[in-house]
Amino acid sequence: MRKVRRKPKLVYGVGVNDADYAVNTTGSDGKQLRCAYYRAWKSMLERAYSLKYQAMRPTYTDVAVCEEWHSFMAFRAWMMTQDWEGKQLDKDIIVPGNKVYSPATCVFVSPQINSLLTDHAAARGEWPIGVDWNRQVEKFHARVRENGKQRHLGLFTTPEAAHLAWRRAKVRVVRTAARECDDPRVSAGLLRHSYRIEAGLAA
């Protein structure tokens, strides 16, 4: 009787692990080792298709992965051409507001660059980005993250004034990062983000 070959289980409902090698192995010390390419691919699918992940990070709602990258080996072939070691996969620095992971929109960036445009909406609550309410002095506090540290920008009577101070400082921080970046795609993308911040649009 001919044995029926089972279809591989989809990763997060869409991904096909079509690797021609074992993506998970055991090291000499007994620890599990996972292929770096597979780890990046699976994490990307998790961000796009895991409802549990999106419940914790709502900014990933409506994010998708292009059909080509539903194949692990297709994603791996692209990743092998990139400068990825020690870096993180980003989908919207090159194209502001982009919601689709694809070869045309993605790039690997340093953790510092990747966090540069993060919008911590849940942490700041009802106020505009860069603004929080200082209960002790009953004024709005503006601050910007620069070189890994929060920098105080001042206290203001309105959230609009505090947000404007943040925008001006953030434009300078982002443009400095753009000038110092070696990757022209990332540099150009950061400049596009800085223009949006300057205009009062979402980064």
The answer to whether 142 and 128 are in contact (CB under 8 A) is no
> To 10 degrees, the CA torsion angle through 39, 40, 41, 45?
100
Structural domains for the chain: 8-109 (no CATH), 112-203 (3.30.730.10)
Please name every residue paired with 71 in a beta bridge, in sequence order, or none if there are none. 16
- Tens of pLDDT along the chain (203 residues) come to 455 455 668 999 999 999 999 998 766 666 778 899 999 999 999 999 999 999 999 989 999 999 999 999 999 999 999 999 999 999 999 999 999 999 999 999 999 999 888 765 555 568 899 999 999 999 999 999 888 788 999 999 999 999 999 999 999 999 999 999 999 999 999 999 999 999 987 65
Residue 33 CB neighbours (<10 A): 12
Find, among 11, 7, 37, the residue nearest to 22 by Cα: 37
